[in-house]
Structure 1
Amino acid sequence: MIELNDVSFWYHGQADPVLTGVGATIGEGELVLVAGRTGAGKSTLLGTVNGLVPHFTGGHLEGLVAVGGADTASHPPREFAHLVGVVGQDPLAGFVTDTVEEELAYGMEQLGLPPSVMRRRVEETLDLLGIADLRRRALRTLSGGQQQRVAIGSVLTMHPPVLVLDEPTSALDPTAAEDVLATLARLVHDLGTTVLLAEHRMERVVSFATGCCTCRATEPSSTARRPPCSGTCRSGRRSSRWACSPGGSRCPCPSGKPAGAPGRGARRCPAFRTFLPARPGRRCSPAATSWSGTARPSPSAASTWTCTKGRCSR
């Protein structure tokens, strides 16, 4: 259901990657715990599953993240709304309506489900999470634990095959946390739902988990692998011989001897060429006069890359 293959990610303006070489395959009906210290990249890893990273956050993503066979890098997050349900760390920030009942129904409205189905699922979820007495309460008047339950319920009503939860029990007392985790476990065993969740209090989750993934913070290093240079280069007839990077930062030449600098954000690198993508899905053409994308070392290397939505990808 979820495939991660050699995934690395950099935020803009950061030399060191947040994720490096992450690989995992998570099948249907698994509950996988993502563990690690604060800042180790747990939330970033979860964000790649529905495409919010990098489509919303920006940054540079390498490798493959696929859900149900669909690559999250080449599809916008909206195309995963029916596949992946996401519950973030701050429930209140994700609410879009005013009352509990409206919030539980909102996601189903966007999916165009019939009203009879929506009513039945809302009632089932209210009973499942023990919040039936809150149905008409204003969301801002709820306690942190109650808001967390509503946030989880708003995702459960859509019946997505994949659930991604970022510290779902952080605002719950031990009893309420165990109830929520038991509910997730029932979804895994009864419906075959795939659950990926990050949690600091591992003792709460470990008895329900079928697997565990540990994130470790990357130590800053001057020799850390950097994302490929990218940008738009225009320098007349020599534009195909320049490597650029976004934001005006300069790219080092492979030879270490730049031949010059025609303008902000570019250096002339004799060993580099840039390639002009044709239409999406076609091979990158080496005949470039200007190009917005990633510099590649040679035409032979670039021939293994294809263009998707104006970007080169393997």
Structure 2
Amino acid sequence: MTDRELDAAGIGDPALRAAYRHCRSLNARHGRTYFLATRLLPVEHRPAVHALYGFARWADDIVDSLGPAADPGCRAAALTELGRSLEEGLRGGHGREPVVYALADTARRYGIRHELFRDFMSAMRADLTVTGYDTYADLRGYMHGSAAVIGLQMLPVLGTVVPREEAAPYAAALGVAFQLSNFLRDVGEDLDRGRVYLPADLLAGHGVDRELLRWSRDTGRDEPRITAALREFEALTRGVYRAAVPGIGMLDPVSRPCIRTACVLYGGILDAVAQDGYAVLHRRAVVPRRRRATVAADGLVRAVAVRLRAGRRSRRSAAPPRPSGPAHGRSYAPAEREVV
């Protein structure tokens, strides 16, 4: 399947193919939800999505994989080196790191704005020193680089049926919604890394602070005030999803099943957290495998239906024009716009 994707995308250089394969393996290993949704895209678009995810995953691992006890200077140096490699890759189309090589090629093929990658790297650098956010506005400032730009990077790959700038706010919002879902699911794990992404003023509104979160994490005991704060954060996140979802209809029809599936699966994290009693400080909530399979199957049906319709339109456009007029007893109305 990897060769089929690379062939369809017109990626022939052996070194570049190896770089894309590396990104695909990162997506398959770490981004289970993201990878599952990516399989619903046309094969020629998948390598670009793997490249975007692979680079983001690589940078995130530099920040997080060694844990809070790791030498901050070592992580900062590794992130600086990745940033330097990124700039060289964007300028010259190559990269010493496979993730940079594939990303630079994807940026060139799809005309992705370079500042989106620079904003992402700024957010990664913030994670080395910033351990919390006073307000939701402060958190949104961070998420512009860590999440919104991911949606904006994806937009040229997915394609749109409206001017791209019209769809951009929705793509950015969906990236933010996905990350907010992860923040809620990962409260305990992030706390162990020394970070709290839930805004301090939201927590304080329920009488919660970092110390109370730490107490609950360490003792395994529930606390009604924490549950109330988590429930409010869930409601906030659902509001972002509602604002983002209209943008799915602005995408190229062949891309909509993928993004709709990702939206349902990431939104399912919120359902899983609620069903588990908001016990995110004690264990990670997981979307049941059966639910994931059902959503993926529905996405596959939608994707196949879109491609069949596209194939029929292509065959009709290649056929000789049909005669029309009163002699045939009917007229032909314009086709309705598809909603998938």
Would you call these one fold, judging by a TM-score over 0.5?
A: no
Greater strand percent: which structure?
A: 1
Normalised to the residue count of structure 1, the TM-score between the two structures is 0.26
Greater helix percent: which structure?
A: 2
Normalised to the residue count of structure 2, the TM-score between the two structures is 0.24
